[in-house]
Structure 1
Amino acid sequence: MTEFVLVAGAWLGAWAWDEVAKELPSARPLTLSGLAEKRELPAGQERHVRDVVEEIERLDLRDVVLVGHSYSGVPVGQAAERIGDRLRRLVLVDAGVPVDGENFFHGWDSAGVRREIEENGGFWPPQVEQFAGQELSEERIAGILARATPHPGASLSEPASLTGSLADVPTTYIKCLLDGEEPIPPVAALLPSPSWELVRMDTGHWPMFSRPRELARILRQIAE
């Protein structure tokens, strides 16, 4: 049976996948260190990579569809390389990708985020602006923010480490169009690979909240 390992992006824990997980035959949402119920644990990017790898190995999962959203595309992309033949497919949901030797900030103007982290004791606080205009109601945004966790800044500034090319990893990239129609440059550079495919969703950056059933359907189709 295909195992779906679901990792949400900044500020979120496993709870973010609740509605998607209901629609999947075998879903294993994972919270990264420093977030949600693991908020007291020390966290950096390498720790997040190990969170994913260690959970898959601990449960001895095979035929894994490894799903990373937003920030988590960076550690999940590295984990996909490390789990070897346990991986069936990597799925990146409007996500960043790891670039060897570069951190999460690679390829975009991150001065404002870096300043927020410095002003908030090393953490990136969630803000309503990040969720506005993304097909989410004010009530839904308030509910998300009530459960969100300030994101550990170290995970954003540590460099990624890859031994091979992510272009060789079987990958589906899901682009959420309300967050911009074109993939970011590091993703665009990988999409021509025959191992990669692009799927578009006409929704915002948080499809696990705005279109959970549609996202789950796409994940099931990917696993077929």
Structure 2
Amino acid sequence: MAEFVLVAGAWLGAWAWDEVVPELRAAGHGAHPLTLSGVAERRSEPVGPQTHVQDIVSEVERRDLHGVVLVGHSYSGIPVGQAAERIGGRLARAVFVDSNVPAHGESFVSPWPEQGARVEADIAANGGFWPLPDTAELDDQGLSAEQLARFTRGATPHPGASLTDPAVLERPLGELPATYIKCLLDGPAPNPDVVELLKSDRWRLVEMNTGHWPMLSRPRELARILLEAAEA
């Protein structure tokens, strides 16, 4: 039995996995959606260096999970990638869902100086939080009107400190057993750093013909892919 720890990207809490979790549990596995500090029902909690990494590690240790499949979506690929090496032998596989991946000493914003500067300016102008995206940015991501409404109802501003926090890795990320899920409506190919990681024989690529939030747009298909990843 696998134990899935599911971490959604910026602005989203554990609720984003509501339609994925039952599919995983019905297949006989554990499923543990996690809200990170500073968002959703935990939005009052402070966020500093490595807070989100520790959130994930603490969840695994608190539940004494083994055979762990750590799933990181979008921004959360960065803390998930760091947590994956810190939980050691508890890890079975990491799954990155259309996500960023950590690089030692680099933050979420640092790979894209111009875009990162805009994000940092937005954070400074919004009390230390990254504001929600304009709904027009979600229009081409395969979300129905109902799914888009769920996003806007549940999303909360994201703590900016987590986006500028440099990652800490002790070994190459390519050494982890990992699956990368590329959502094609968000771009036809992974970012160059992911392309490089996919050269490792421990990484595999899976494509989904949907947008950046597949847990909302294609939850059953995503669950099936996660189940297959757990068996890889």
The residue type paired with residue 18 of structure 2 is D
Match status 1:214 vs 2:218: no
Q: Which residue of 2 aligns with 1:40?
A: 44
Letter in 2 for 1:146: R
| Residues 184, 210 of structure 2: 8 Å contact kept | yes
The match for 1:169 is 176
1:121 corresponds to which of 127, 136, 139 = 127
**In 2, Cα distance between the equivalents of 1:74 and 1:85?**
20
Residue 21 in structure 1 maps to residue 12 in structure 2: no
Match of 2:101 among 97, 101, 119: 97
| Displacement of 1:119 | 1.1
1:205 aligns with 2:212: yes
Mapping 1:60-209, distance limit 5 Å: 60-108=64-112, 109-127=115-133, 128-209=135-216
- The offset of 1:112, in angstroms, is 2.2
Structure 2 Cα separation of the partners of residues 44 and 191 of structure 1: 31
RMSD: 1.1
SS at match of 2:16: helix
Gaps of 5+ in 2: none
Q: Distance in 2 between matches of 1:94 and 1:219?
A: 13
Alignment deviations for residues 47-95 of structure 1 (CA, whole Å, 9 cap, x no partner): 0000000110111100001000000000000000000000000000000
SS at match of 2:205: strand
SS at match of 1:91: strand
Q: AA paired with 2:124?
A: E
Runs of 4+ aligned residues of structure 1 deviating over 4 Å after TM superposition are none
Q: What residue in structure 2 maps to residue 54 of structure 1?
A: 58
Query: What is the CA–CA distance in structure 2 between the aligned matches of 1:210 and 1:136, rounded to whole Å?
Result: 5
Q: Which residue of 2 aligns with 1:31?
A: 35
Q: 1:6 and 2:12 equivalent? A: no
Equivalent pairs: percent with the same residue? 62
Contact 2:73 2:97 in 1 (8 A): yes
Q: Is the 8 A contact 1:11 1:151 kept in 2?
A: yes
Q: Distance in 2 between matches of 1:185 and 1:100?
A: 16
The alpha carbon displacement at 1:9 in A equals 0.3
Q: Which amino acid aligns with 1:101?
A: G
Q: Is the 8 A contact 1:45 1:75 kept in 2?
A: no
Structure 1 runs not aligned, ≥5 long: none
The count of corresponding residues between Structure 1 and Structure 2 is 224
- Describe the shift of the 1:45–1:206 C-alpha distance in structure 2 as closer, same or farther (beyond 3 A): farther
